[in-house]
A and B are shown apart, each in its own frame.
Chain A
Amino acid sequence: MSLAHKGRWITMVGLVCLAGVYVRALAFTPVERLQGPAQKIFYLHVPAALWTEAAMILVGLAGIFYLFLKDPRLDRFAAASAEVGTVFAIIVLTTGPIWGKPIWGTWWTWDARLTSTLFLFFLYVGYLLVRGAVRDPGVRARYAAVLGICGLCLVPFIHLSVFLFRTLHPQPIIVKPSAPSLPGSMLATWLFSLVAFSLLYVGFVTQRYAVGDTDHA
């Protein structure tokens, strides 16, 4: 089975899981008391946000390894990861306002968490623009690695500045030092969704990587 086929299968499984998540979220998970049905979007929003960031971190790590090993496969992976990260950032930036309208009463707020995803999105766009602007594959890979590593180091700073800035956003309720303060059934649904998004990330990246492979064959 070719790499592209594998990627297509993983994506398919991921999509089925995502459908499962929403069946579970709508039918079997309790409605949140304060936020009402709008909270359901959270199962899409938060895993996408996590993977937006994880994809950037992987782009940076691939960049570090590329500079030392000079293996073009690492660069192809970084490119794939950046494109998928961009798509996930768009998901976050669309679902955020959909949730925000009923809850905050406005489509867009300069809430720090949403803003930091917006900046990650700009970072991805800049990264992909630089890739598009350089023709020689070796130079492109080097430039992309440098920019990716800088992006990796920027992520904690975006978080720090966001943390210091006062925020309207619901505080993180799953990943925090104390035990998760989410009812068990919601947590289960959410974890299921995280698995679905992980599969989608792997599936998309594998397919994109395979396309890059045939480009250069």
Chain B
Amino acid sequence: MGEVLAQAWAVARKDLVLEFRTRTALVSAVVFAALVLTVFNFGRDPTAVPTIDLAPTILWVTFTFAAMLAMNRAFQLELENQALEGLLASPLSRTGLYWGKLVANLVFVAVVEAVGLPLFVLFFDVPVGRVLAPLVGVIALATLGFVAVGTLFSALVMRTRFAELLLVVILLPFLVPPLIGAVQVTARLFGGRPLSESVGYLKLLAAYDIVFVSLASFLFRFTVDE
């Protein structure tokens, strides 16, 4: 177990060093998030729908779309010089590889969200100050679930044609439960409702995380081993 974690950390660290050195994907994802927020601002009628009603949806559509850009990157970079082949021939455990990719993806998406959230507050003037801690908690809970599935699926599609497009299509149905949960909890938080009203959705998000993180950890080996 200790060795698997050490390997996972080695993979995650390598991915993050590569990412912060080239920055192409990260900058693209952040700019993309900013663009989506801007487009939403012009794509609504502020006199007809109060911002606060639309805000949770805007936030989560932005986050999930930007996250999908991030997940394509994870295994594409292993195809350069067939590095993946080398990884698989080394004693690196498959679970270690998956967890490493998952951690790198989570950090990547967290950076996009950390930039996206203040922009969102700025553009839509949503008072998040008093609910910041629970909001961050919900973001973490929902993000873990769909990034876990997305990381598995990005390994699945990496060698197919139109990998980016295919990933979006197969991931979409899997985004529904975390998206519904996250939007509902966020709406209640913005509406100043007590957290106890969101318990059902929080349980849904937690259950989704547990099921899909374990399932993906187990199934990952079948996407890379021949």
* A residues neighboring B (CB under 8 Å): 67, 119-120, 122-123, 125-127, 129-130, 133-134, 138-139, 142-143, 145-147, 149-151, 153-154, 157-158, 160-161, 164-165
Contacts and interface: CB of A to CB of B under 8 A. Distances in A.
B201 interface: yes
B222 interface: yes
Contact of A120 (B173, B184, B207, B216): B173
Contacts of B208: 157
B204 A158 contact: no
Interface string B156-191: 110011100010011011101100110010000000
A139 to B, nearest CB: 8
Interface residues of B, number: 32
Interface string B190-224: 00000000001100100110011001100100110
Contact of B169 (A120, A129, A160, A164): A129
B166 A146 contact: no
List 3 tightest A-B contacts by C-beta distance, closest first: A126-B170, A133-B160, A157-B177
Given A133-B160, A133-B161, A146-B156, A127 B201 contact: no
A156 to B, nearest CB: 9
A160 B203 CA distance: 10
B223 A143 contact: yes
Contact of B222 (A145, A164, A165): A145
A147 B201 contact: no
B157 A149 contact: no
Interface of B: 149, 152-153, 156-157, 160-162, 166, 169-170, 172-174, 176-177, 180-181, 184, 200-201, 204, 207-208, 211-212, 215-216, 219, 222-223, 226
26 contacts: A120-B173, A122-B169, A125-B169, A126-B166, A126-B173, A129-B169, A130-B170, A133-B166, A134-B160, A139-B226, A142-B222, A143-B156, A146-B152, A146-B223, A147-B156, A147-B170, A149-B215, A149-B219, A154-B174, A154-B177, A158-B176, A160-B177, A161-B204, A164-B184, A164-B204, A165-B184
A113 B174 CA distance: 16
B204 A157 contact: yes
A158 B177 contact: yes
A25 B161 CA distance: 48
B215 A130 contact: no
A67 B222 contact: yes
Contacts, number: 86
B170 A129 contact: yes
The winner among A127, A149, A160 for most chain B CB atoms within 10 A is A160
A127 B176 contact: no
Contacts of A146: 152, 156, 219, 222-223
B70 to A, nearest CB: 19
Contact of A142 (B174, B184, B201, B223): B223
A157 B173 CA distance: 11
Contacts of B219: 146, 149-150
Nearest to B219: A146
Contacts of A120: 173
Given A129-B170, A157-B177, A161-B176, 17 more contacts: A119-B172, A119-B173, A126-B173, A127-B170, A130-B156, A130-B170, A133-B166, A146-B222, A149-B215, A149-B219, A150-B212, A153-B212, A153-B215, A157-B208, A164-B180, A164-B200, A164-B204
A150 B208 CA distance: 12
B61 to A, nearest CB: 15
A126 B181 contact: no
A163 B177 CA distance: 11
Nearest to A159: B177
B176 A119 contact: yes
A78 B45 CA distance: 47
A200 to B, nearest CB: 24
Contacts of B166: 126, 129-130, 133
B169 A150 contact: no
B34 to A, nearest CB: 28
